Amino acid sequence: MNKQWWMDEIVYQIYPKSFHDSNHDGIGDIPGIIEKLDYLKDLGVTMLWICPVYNSPMDDNGYDISDYEDIYPAFGTMDDMNKLFEKAQEKGIKIIMDLVINHTSDEHPWFQEALANPDSPYRQYYIFKEGKNGNPPTNWRSVFGGSVWQKVPNEDNMYYFHAFSKKQPDLNWENPQMRHDIYEMINRWFDKGISGFRVDAINFIKKDQRFEDGIPDGADGLVSCFDYCRNIQGIDKFYDELKKETFAKHDCMTVSEAVGVGYDRIDECIGDKGCFTMMFDFNYTNIDVINEDYFRPTNWTIKEYRDAIYLSQEEIQKIGWSAPFLENHDQPRSINKLIKDPQYYQLGAKTLATMFLMLRGTPFIYQGQELGMLNFHRQSVEEFDDLNAHSQYHRAIEEGFDEKQALAFLNQRSRDNARTPMPWNKEQYGGFSTHQPWIEMTDGYETFNAQDQITDPDSILEYYKRLINIRKNQYHDILTYGEFISLPLNDHIVSYIRAYENKKIAILCNLSSSNQTYELDNIDHVICNNIHDYTPGLLKPYQALILYLKK
C-alpha cells in the first residue's frame, strides 16, 4: 500500500458544545477550542475533528443543519472559525469537519420552500410520499423511534421521510440537482483550507425505492428502517460521484461513519475503488448491544471482543485503511463499557489506550478519553438531553421493561455519557465554564481533571502522551505502516503483532481482573508497561505490555 500523509495523523475529536466555554454562557465555543490548542499540541495530536458548528436549531445538537455555510451563534462566527484554522495551522494541527449530507434540518431554506410550495423544485430535494389506506407510506421505524414518516401540514395524505428525528428530513439523493448543490458546498469548504471531513451517516443516502412494508420487529408494530435505508445496493454509484466531484479534487482525508457495513462490501467505502480514505468500523465497538438498542445488552466476552478486533483489522487490511477508536460522541465512555471490574477503572484506561493506539489505522481519541472520563449516573429520564435517550427509554417501556430498568439502560448507554463538559480542573463546573453548563457534569470530575493529571507523571493523561510518542516518533514506521498480525495467546488477552521490514512489536493487553499467563519466548525488550512490574509470561490484572521482538 502506498504511504499517505493521513496515515501519520493522531486525531482528536472535539464536541464543541462541551469542550471549553470562553464567554461563560454555559456552552462551549470555537474561541474555547482556540484557547486549548496548546493542551492539544502537548498531548501530541496532529489533527482535530470538529463536530458540527454549522447553524442549527440544535434538535440533534448540531446534526440538524439549517445553513451549511454559517456558524451557530453560540459557537461563534465564521471569523472565529477562520481564526481556528489559522492558529491550529501555526501549531502544526490540521482540521477536519463533520459533513452531514444524509439530511438537513427542517428549518433549512430548501425544506422550508419544499413545504411551502408543492410545485417547487426543492420538493424534489427531499422524499415526499402519499400515505396508504390512511397510514404512513411504510411501517419503517426511525433510528430515533416512531415512524420514519411525518405528516405534511395542510396537505391531505402527504408525508416526508426522516431516518432520524422528524426535524431531520432526509435529502433525496436520487435528485441530480440536489447532489450538485451539495458538492458545490463541500468544495467551498475545501477552499477555506480544511484537510477533510468525517462524513456522518453516509451509508443512509440510498433508500430502497420500492418503499415496501416489512415484518414488524417491536411492540410498536414497526420495523427497523436499517434494512430499507442503510447500505442499500446501488449506493456505490452515489459514492463514486461524490468522490469524483469533491474529494478526488483535493489532497484530503475523509473518514466514513458507516455502521453495519459488512466486510464483503467495505471496498465501496475504502481502498482503491472506495470513496473515503478510511472508515470507522462499528462491528466491534457495538459489541455490547444488539441492533443498537440500549435495552438489548449483550453478555459479551473478552474473547468475542478480541476476535471482533482481529476480524476488523484483518479484513480492512486487505482493502484499505481504518480509523480505530474507543469512544465518540455517540458512544458511552469506554472504561464503563469495556472494564468489567470498577476497581480497575484507572489502570484499565491505560490498558484500553495501549490496545487501541497501537492498532493499524489512524487513531481517533475522543475528548476526555485521555483523562479516563466515566459515564454519569442520572436519577430520572428528564435529566437526559439527547433525544435518542428519550426515544430509547420509551421503547424500553414498550418492550416490557419497568422505569427503573429503562433508566439503567440510559445510564449505561446514552450518548449523553460522552457529551458532558470537559473537566479542565476541580473547580465548580470543572473549569469548563463559570456558568451552569448546558448539561450536568459527570460525577467525580474532581478526580480526573486535566490540571491534576498534567502534574502527575503516573496519570492517564501522561500515559496517553507516552503512547502517542511511541507511535508517532520512537517506533513510527512499525506502528504506522506495519502489518497487523493476530496473536491469540489467551482468551482474556487482546494481543497482536505489528510487523514492518523484519521488525516486530507485540502488544499484550489483559482485559481481565485476574492474572493471565502467556507463552512468547522471542522478547527482546519491553517498550512500555502500564504498571511498575514485569514478569515474563505473566500479565497481572489489566496489565498492558508493548514488547519489541527479536528478529
Say whether 38 is catalytic.
no
Q: What is the Cα 334 distance to its own chain's centre?
A: 12
Q: Residues 249, 294: one domain?
A: yes
The continuous run of DSSP H or E covering 439 comes out as: none
Asked whether the CA dihedral 299, 304, 306, 308 is positive or negative, the reply is: negative
Q: Residues 204, 321: one domain?
A: yes
Closest CA to 137 of 229, 218, 61: 229
| Per-residue pLDDT at 1 exceeds 70 | no
Give DSSP secondary structure letters for 346-388.
HHHHHHHHHHHHTSSS--EEETTGGGT------SSGGG---HH
Domain count, the chain: 3
Going by pLDDT thresholds of 50, 70 and 90, the confidence category of residue 448 is confident
Going by pLDDT thresholds of 50, 70 and 90, the confidence category of residue 2 is confident
Strands 54-55 and 67-71: antiparallel
Asked whether residue 403 is assigned to any structural domain, the reply reads no
Q: Residues 153, 200: one domain?
A: no
Mean pLDDT, residues 60-81: 98
Q: Which three cell numbers stand for residue 16?
A: 464543541
Asked whether residue 82 is assigned to any structural domain, the reply reads yes
Give DSSP secondary structure letters for 115-172.
HH-TTSGGGGGB-EEE-BTTB-S--EEPTTSSBSEEEPTTSTTEEEE-SS-TTSPBB-
pLDDT digits (tens, 9 = 90+) for 89-142: 999 999 999 999 999 999 999 999 999 999 999 999 999 999 999 999 999 999
Residue-level pLDDT at 447? 85
Q: Residues 373, 302: one domain?
A: yes
Q: Residues 439, 493: one domain?
A: no
Q: Which of 110-114, 220-224, 445-449 has the lowest mean pLDDT?
A: 445-449
Residue-number span of the structural domain to which 239 is assigned: 5-101+176-212+225-378+417-466
**Which of the following is catalytic: 106, 257, 288, 370?**
257
Backbone angles phi, psi at 430, to 5 degrees: 60, 20
* Identity of the amino acid at 469: N
| Per-residue pLDDT at 180 exceeds 80 | yes
Q: What share of the chain is helix, strand, coil (3-state, %, to 5)?
A: 35, 20, 45
Q: Residues 78, 115: one domain?
A: no
Say whether 200 is catalytic.
yes
Looking up residue 525, the CATH number of its domain turns out to be 2.60.40.1180
3-state secondary structure of 394: helix
Asked whether residue 400 is assigned to any structural domain, the reply reads no
pLDDT digits (tens, 9 = 90+) for 235-251: 999 999 999 999 999 99
Looking up residue 153, the CATH number of its domain turns out to be 3.90.400.10
Q: Residues 433, 365: one domain?
A: yes
Q: How far apart are CA 512 and CA 305, in angstroms?
A: 12
Q: Residues 147, 17: one domain?
A: no
Residue-level pLDDT at 444? 85
Let me know how long the chain is: 551
Q: Residues 449, 507: one domain?
A: no
Q: What is the pTM of this model?
A: 0.97
The torsion angle over the Cα atoms of residues 191, 197, 201 and 207, rounded to 10 degrees, is: 40
**Which of the following is catalytic: 200, 281, 288, 327?**
200
3-state secondary structure of 60: coil
Percent of the residues in the chain that have a pLDDT greater than 70, as a whole number: 100
CA angle 21, 22, 25 (to 5 degrees): 60
Number of Cα atoms under 13 Å in the Cβ half of residue 22:
13
Higher pLDDT: 348 or 291? It is 348
Q: Residues 96, 118: one domain?
A: no
Q: How far apart are CA 287 and CA 297, in angstroms?
A: 9
Mean pLDDT, residues 495-505: 97
Q: Are 323 and 362 in contact (CB under 8 A)?
A: yes
Farthest CA pair distance, the chain: 75
| Per-residue pLDDT at 258 exceeds 90 | no
